[in-house]
Chain A
Amino acid sequence: MAIAIPSIACLGIIGRNNNPLHISIFPSYDPAANSFAPLRTPLQFSLLLSSTLDIFELRARQNAVNATGLTGDYGLLHAIDERLASYGFETNTGVKFVVVVDMRGRRIDGSVAGNLKGGVVGLREGEMKTVFRAMQTAYVKLLQNPFFEPDEHSPPAGSGGKKITSKRFAEDMRRIGESWTPGVTAL
């Protein structure tokens, strides 16, 4: 028996000015067509990522009031529906990482899933930490590039900014998005 397990549907990096820096979209398994295809259109994923900004803002405000949330890991931002859920992380420079998880993005054989709890697999609170850590490592690697000008991507005064064009960074994101499965501890 095949069991649906979560996979990453989209990775988003959002800059300090709430501007999109990078969006990677990953295909999900479609049992009807027995193929892999993105669950939503790029526009829908854009909307989905942008909607998390509301939550980042609210959470930042709440954190400021309660003086909590120093780690920047915002955990589950919201579940858009039964399949898609957004998880968020904010660095102390205001760069936000968003992971959109498709709860039924992959299918594995029941025998393989034996060690996992039967039925539909959920996610634990801290399970996204690995992904965020890997994303942050990739982002730090990007920042270390002397030709990468962070101010160009999120001007300190003003709005908007350029997107990240680094191929290596995109490759990193692709690797993270494709290799993550629940229970992975290092990416």
Chain B
Amino acid sequence: MDEYPKGSLDPSIPLLLTLGVAGGSDHGIELDTALREQGVLIRSEAAPLDSEQALGLLRYIQDHDLSRLPPTSPEPIAALRYRFRVRTAERSLLLPPRHARLPDGADPPASPAALHSPFSPLSTVSKLYPDGLIDTKWLQKHQALVPALVLCFYTLVSDPTQATLCDNQIKSDLNNIKGLLSQSGYKTRLAVVLLSDQHAPSVEGVQERLENLRKGCGIDSKALFLVPPNESTQELGRMAENMLSTLYPLAVEYYRDLGRHARKKRGRGIAPQPTIPPTSGTSQTLSLAGWNVRYDFKSAIFAEFRSEYENALRSYDQAYDGLLSSELLEVIPSWSPRWNEARFLADVIAIRGISCLLFGGQHSTAARRWQLHRDKVAGFVDRHGRGTKNYGWKAWESRWAVVMANLIERTVIPGFEPQLHQRYLQPEKVAMGERLQPFEFLHHPGYWYRLAAQHLYGRRALARAMPDDDRSPPSSSPASHVASKAFTYDTYMCPEPHEEYPLNDAPGTDYGDLIVDNLTRARSAFLERQQVRFAAELSLECARELTIRRDWKSIVELLRPLWKNMSFRTEGWYTIAEELSWILRGAAAMVGEAALVVAIDWELLNRNFTKRTNWHYDISKSLDGISPKSRPHVYIEDGQTLSFISASFIFKDEEGKAGQSANGQLTLKSSAHQGSAPIRLNSVQVELNGSVNRIIFKHQDDADPQQKNGNTSLSAMSLSRITDKGKGKATDPDSLDEEQMVILQGDANLTLAPGQVIVLGVQVPLREPGETCAVSLTMNLHSESFDLDQYQSFQQGRGASIWYLSASRTKRVARENPLAVKVLPRPPQMEIVGLTWKDQYYTDEPIALEFEIINEEDVDAPARLDAILVGPLPPVFIVEVPGQDETSSDGGSKEESRLSGLSLGAIESSKSIITHVRVPPIPESTQYNLTLKLVYFLSTNPGTPITQTAVFQLNIVNPFEANYDLLPRVHPDPWPSLFDPEGVRDPSEDDTHILPKGLCQTYSLVTRYASFASEDLRVHDVDIRVQTSRSVRVHSTRTLPASPNRIVKPKTIEDAAFDITSQKHTLDDRSQSTLDVSLVIKWSRLTSSTPNTTTLPVPRFVLFGTEPRVLASASHIRLKESPKPLIILLIIIENASNHFLTFGLSMEPSDEFAFSGPKQTTLHLLPVSRRSATYRLLPLASGSKTGGWIKPGLVVRDKYFQKVLRVIPTEGMKLDKDGAFLVWVPPEEEEGSENGEGSSESE
């Protein structure tokens, strides 16, 4: 757009001229010298103002000059209250003459000559004379020269003595200006700003003076402004804003008048005659159609001034149609300069029309209008001009695209800002339903600039195709040729052929520069909208252009960042990546960027790229012809290039153990171009995480692979550990610095021919538990002229996980992460063995445990022992280590008893130590877990603790269980008498020394205990321990003879019986008392002799009581006459109460026996007494050999309470299930039956 003459495409904004403020130059100097002489000079006589206020006001107005503001979107412009282009003049303004003079020496016409504007084709001074249409000068006249408004600044003097004088001066000055203006013929409006000086005059006076001034000069009241003194900047701004808004309608009115005038002239329908009829040339004057175009164009411009874009567009359309009609452009001969002028006018109208469309939001129509104009002009040029097959047309096409780009850039379209990343706009509603061309969606300027560049290629091609004859300057070519050339080449707004593309390499049009300029602009537009790939494409195009210009440096600058991280490489657009690489390589070689050249050559070896036939593909020749300043060191980052060597390092197994080693394989595969030179890597370093830090494979020429199959070679490597020099301390092998790097090294042949696969198997020693994984790999190549390091990081899931079983056989490692091996902790080689371990331990037994700790490691191991006993209320236990004192655990907790960190000292290899754990007797049956934790270090690797744990379960059970029967017996002694004075205790006597005189009772305690142990136990003794209340004296004796050291088998029941005789201390005490007995068993395991004592509590018994009881006792007498024994049944009734009781006894006859004794009797019992009744029973049943039971029907009844008392059987008797007692009948003919012995009662 810049190529069009200045002012031809400027937006039309009303022109405001300020007059009378110091600082501005005089207006109108841009006027042509010829016109300046005739120009109307308007001069203000008043001194220019230079007060702060006047300057501030002017500054504000200037700041709001719309033509200087950056482009804004049409909506805010439409909302503006005023639009002005502002010019300033200090004292004078020069307006172009309204009428041109008659040319000198012209014959004065007969009638008074009709003089016309110097810009009109009617005037001879105009270049348009006699048949031109309109030119930029006319536009400039309205845009820059003739103001719509002149704003005069004056001071309103407040000094009353000078006020009138000054007012009159202003008046006369204004009248002068006004007069001059009207003389000039322009209808420029006049506005006045009066700035009050310091002293504020009275309001009325001022009003009067203003009125006076207004009337005196005939100024519109709206165009007179008074600025009070001492206003702040903001206030001034507000006033100026107000002023400009008020003035704007005046300006609009001015342009409306002009527009009306133009339309009126068009309406006349006749072509005006020039001042002087043309005599030269064709003597043709402008036709009516031409005049109509001129008037329409004027109307459109004036409408634009008024911001009436739709009206403007209509007028432009009219003008455009008229111009391109058969009456105008069709008839203008193409050799005439008017042809190009008309084309220019058509361009201007089209551009201004498109601009109006863009302002009106009709984007697609604008795009279509753009195409339409291009097509129309192409048609004209083809038919009437020099055709579209020459560089001139391409130049115009390119320009036409740039124009559109500029227009879009100049107009800020809402929703199309670069930051919104829109590529194109949706069509406006009107065009929505139509079948639109894709390009009719308005695209952003980047596309248009690119289009311009494309046309420039065409322009260059066409220019290059010109024959040499056409390219010679006209001075050196025959005249006939010059003439023919003029008809061949379109030179509309572009140079003649001999300037466009001169002979002899003289500088002509710099196409490259133009193309690069357009491409760069396009590129920035695409980058702004984040179309990175498109921008990259443009960079590539740019670089190609720069290659032609041999601007190598710029290419490297442009492409190097792109090459470093282009998406084409990672995304697999190899053809693009390749193109870019080759261009950059060429440029880098020229600039001497050796490192870049090597890196690109390295990448281009990859088979993915197309092979160039004439290329050496030998990395060592890469720098041939380049002499870098220093030896280049190329470092290739991960993913920076598409490496032709794919390297992977995988582990065979998923898990390994510390102290062992894992199988790993490094695979290097070359996918270089077939026929390229083999690459000899100097070393490959694999960085690992975990046990090993680095494995270095060094090249060795004579290290031949162990297996070879086709292109694959496989060898198992032996690695040796090298010390890292960087860490310094590592020279001492004994130093156990954990930070020390573990670096392994091996030699292999690392020469990679194209397509070759090198597989190197290694044993990676695993040291620490955790994970050992391959992290990255660096390949080093040292050639004669450069060093190259390629870094590659291993990533999970990238690359194939192929394990080479042999050179010909592979398998896929189907693991999630074959890059890593999980290192399990080193298995401890120290063992804890329980030596004397038993399944069961018994309560009340001290437990001694013995453990052997065996060191099966290869070296000595200092160890520590933790022992933890877990269970309910664990006891404090003791651990004994040889050569040390016993250590007891802390029994603080309820759940565990712990002993930590007991040092065992260093245990020698394959030696053992014995530790003892002693647990005190535990009273209850329970279960404990004894955990022994052994933490030890190997003297070779003291940093790594190794832990061995053993858990033992202690089952503690009761060895015995027992049940008990307390059977009443008849105490043989008579009861003391309540009435016996001897029984009365002297209260003064001490309790302890007197003999007990209370009631006595005898019982027999029968216990049956069983062994619940799992083995035979030796029972040393069984006894009872009696605890009584203080009021009772108890004496117990063992009835059954104790057999000491009796072996008790598991689950067998043993009996023990005890006689218990109890006596109350006093007779007076006849209350109940209790008896607590526990059974004490002294036992030992068969293996040991120390007896353990187990105490089994016997349920509590109740003795005595005041209730009467009836005891029965039986004894047998053997009569000589009869084999049957005679049974003497003694019924003893005890009355411990203080009452006199009467009992009735009745014995029922029975078939089982005969009896003698009272069948029915009554016994009276005194308080605290006992009486007995005796029966003799003779069993009737024929004698049994085994004995038997008889059931005497004896009933004892309390006479008073009518209550039957239970008869309690004693020895030789028992109760049946009804509660009646049975009496044992010993077998016949046997003497000395044991059953008789128990009776202590006899007749």
A contact residues vs B (CB 8 Å cutoff): 17-20, 42-43, 46-47, 50-51, 53-55, 58, 62, 76-82, 85, 101, 103, 117, 120-124, 155-161
A79 touching B424 by the CB < 8 A rule? yes
7 smallest A-B Cβ distances: which pairs? A85-B438, A79-B438, A122-B435, A19-B572, A160-B572, A54-B531, A51-B534
Task: Give min CB distance, B1084 to chain A, whole Å.
Answer: 74
Flag B436-450 by CB within 8 Å of A: 1 or 0 each: 111111010001001
B571 touching A46 by the CB < 8 A rule? no
B439 touching A159 by the CB < 8 A rule? no
B439 touching A85 by the CB < 8 A rule? yes
Complex contacts, A121 vs chain B, CB 8 Å: 435
A80 touching B447 by the CB < 8 A rule? yes
Contact of B798 among A46, A58, A157 (CB under 8 A): A157
Task: Give min CB distance, B954 to chain A, whole Å.
Answer: 55
Contact of B424 among A50, A76, A157, A159 (CB under 8 A): A76
Task: Give min CB distance, A40 to chain B, whole Å.
Answer: 11
Q: Does B568 contact A (CB under 8 A)?
A: yes
A50 touching B533 by the CB < 8 A rule? yes
Task: Give min CB distance, A73 to chain B, whole Å.
Answer: 15
Task: Give min CB distance, A104 to chain B, whole Å.
Answer: 10
List residues 550-573 of chain B with CB under 8 A from any CB of chain A.
567-568, 570-573
Complex contacts, A157 vs chain B, CB 8 Å: 795-798
A78 touching B447 by the CB < 8 A rule? yes
Complex contacts, B895 vs chain A, CB 8 Å: none
Q: Does B451 contact A (CB under 8 A)?
A: yes
B423 touching A78 by the CB < 8 A rule? yes
Task: Give min CB distance, B533 to chain A, whole Å.
Answer: 5
B531 touching A51 by the CB < 8 A rule? yes
How many Å lie between the Cα of A68 and that of B795 in the bound state? 35
A158 touching B798 by the CB < 8 A rule? yes
Complex contacts, B568 vs chain A, CB 8 Å: 50
A81 touching B447 by the CB < 8 A rule? yes
B443 touching A160 by the CB < 8 A rule? no
List residues 512-531 of chain B with CB under 8 A from any CB of chain A.
529-531
B530 touching A58 by the CB < 8 A rule? yes
Complex contacts, A53 vs chain B, CB 8 Å: 533, 567, 571
B571 touching A120 by the CB < 8 A rule? no
How many Å lie between the Cα of A137 and that of B450 in the bound state? 36
Task: Give min CB distance, B793 to chain A, whole Å.
Answer: 13
Complex contacts, B435 vs chain A, CB 8 Å: 117, 121-124
B571 touching A160 by the CB < 8 A rule? yes
List residues 391-424 of chain B with CB under 8 A from any CB of chain A.
421, 423-424
Nearest residue, chain A, Cβ from B639: A159
B567 touching A18 by the CB < 8 A rule? yes
Task: Give min CB distance, A66 to chain B, whole Å.
Answer: 13
* Contact A17:B575 (CB < 8 A) given known A50-B533, A124-B435: no
How many Å lie between the Cα of A58 and that of B533 in the bound state? 12
Nearest residue, chain B, Cβ from A80: B447
* Contact A54:B533 (CB < 8 A) given known A82-B439, A120-B437, A124-B435: yes
* Contact A123:B436 (CB < 8 A) given known A54-B534, A78-B424: yes
Complex contacts, B955 vs chain A, CB 8 Å: none
Contact of B797 among A43, A46, A58, A158 (CB under 8 A): A158
Contact of B573 among A50, A55, A76, A79 (CB under 8 A): A50
Interface centre among A18, A43, A54, A157 (most CB of B within 10 A): A54
B441 touching A79 by the CB < 8 A rule? yes
Contact of A81 among B451, B530, B575 (CB under 8 A): B451
Contact of B421 among A19, A58, A79 (CB under 8 A): A58
Task: Give min CB distance, A105 to chain B, whole Å.
Answer: 13
How many Å lie between the Cα of A20 and that of B758 in the bound state? 31
* Contact A42:B575 (CB < 8 A) given known A79-B443, A120-B437: yes
* Contact A43:B798 (CB < 8 A) given known A78-B424, A79-B443, A122-B440: no
Task: Give min CB distance, B171 to chain A, whole Å.
Answer: 65
How many Å lie between the Cα of A78 and that of B440 in the bound state? 11
Q: List 6 A-B contacts (CB under 8 A).
A: A42-B575, A46-B576, A76-B438, A78-B423, A79-B424, A122-B434
Contact of B571 among A43, A54, A82, A159 (CB under 8 A): A159
Contact of A123 among B424, B437, B454, B575 (CB under 8 A): B437
Q: Does B737 contact A (CB under 8 A)?
A: no
Interface centre among A47, A85, A124, A160 (most CB of B within 10 A): A47
Task: Give min CB distance, A131 to chain B, whole Å.
Answer: 14
* Contact A19:B571 (CB < 8 A) given known A53-B533, A58-B530, A123-B437: yes
Q: Does B482 contact A (CB under 8 A)?
A: no
B575 touching A51 by the CB < 8 A rule? no
B424 touching A122 by the CB < 8 A rule? no
How many Å lie between the Cα of A103 and that of B532 in the bound state? 25
Complex contacts, A19 vs chain B, CB 8 Å: 571-573
How many Å lie between the Cα of A46 and that of B451 in the bound state? 19
Task: Give min CB distance, B566 to chain A, whole Å.
Answer: 10
Q: Does B126 contact A (CB under 8 A)?
A: no
B533 touching A43 by the CB < 8 A rule? no
Q: Does B371 contact A (CB under 8 A)?
A: yes
Complex contacts, B540 vs chain A, CB 8 Å: 47
How many Å lie between the Cα of A76 and that of B532 in the bound state? 18
Other CB < 8 Å A-B pairs besides A50-B573, A122-B435, A123-B438, 9 of them?
Answer: A43-B579, A53-B571, A62-B421, A81-B439, A82-B437, A103-B437, A122-B434, A123-B436, A159-B570
B572 touching A81 by the CB < 8 A rule? no
Flag B1092-1105 by CB within 8 Å of A: 1 or 0 each: 00000000000000
Q: Does B537 contact A (CB under 8 A)?
A: yes
Contact of B572 among A80, A101, A159 (CB under 8 A): A159
A79 touching B531 by the CB < 8 A rule? no
How many Å lie between the Cα of A53 and that of B568 in the bound state? 11
Complex contacts, B573 vs chain A, CB 8 Å: 19-20, 46, 50
Complex contacts, A122 vs chain B, CB 8 Å: 434-438, 440
How many Å lie between the Cα of A78 and that of B522 in the bound state? 15
How many Å lie between the Cα of A100 and that of B571 in the bound state? 20
Interface centre among A20, A42, A77, A156 (most CB of B within 10 A): A20
Contact of A77 among B423, B795, B797 (CB under 8 A): B423
* Contact A55:B438 (CB < 8 A) given known A20-B573, A47-B537, A82-B371: no
Flag B328-372 by CB within 8 Å of A: 1 or 0 each: 000000000000000000000000000000000000000000010
B437 touching A43 by the CB < 8 A rule? no
Complex contacts, A123 vs chain B, CB 8 Å: 435-438
How many Å lie between the Cα of A17 and that of B569 in the bound state? 12
* Contact A54:B532 (CB < 8 A) given known A17-B572, A43-B576, A47-B537: yes
Nearest residue, chain B, Cβ from A21: B572
How many Å lie between the Cα of A36 and that of B573 in the bound state? 27
Nearest residue, chain A, Cβ from B579: A43
Complex contacts, B440 vs chain A, CB 8 Å: 122
Nearest residue, chain B, Cβ from A57: B530
Complex contacts, A159 vs chain B, CB 8 Å: 570-572
Complex contacts, A58 vs chain B, CB 8 Å: 421, 529-531
Interface centre among B424, B451, B567, B572 (most CB of A within 10 A): B572
Nearest residue, chain B, Cβ from A161: B572
Complex contacts, B576 vs chain A, CB 8 Å: 43, 46-47, 50
B572 touching A79 by the CB < 8 A rule? no
How many Å lie between the Cα of A43 and that of B440 in the bound state? 26
Complex contacts, B424 vs chain A, CB 8 Å: 76, 78-79
Interface centre among B441, B537, B575 (most CB of A within 10 A): B575
Interface centre among B371, B437, B796 (most CB of A within 10 A): B437
Complex contacts, A17 vs chain B, CB 8 Å: 571-572
Task: Give min CB distance, A41 to chain B, whole Å.
Answer: 9
How many Å lie between the Cα of A139 and that of B443 in the bound state? 32
How many Å lie between the Cα of A103 and that of B441 in the bound state? 14
Task: Give min CB distance, A50 to chain B, whole Å.
Answer: 5
A81 touching B436 by the CB < 8 A rule? no
How many Å lie between the Cα of A91 and that of B671 in the bound state? 33
Complex contacts, A160 vs chain B, CB 8 Å: 570-572
Nearest residue, chain A, Cβ from B446: A78
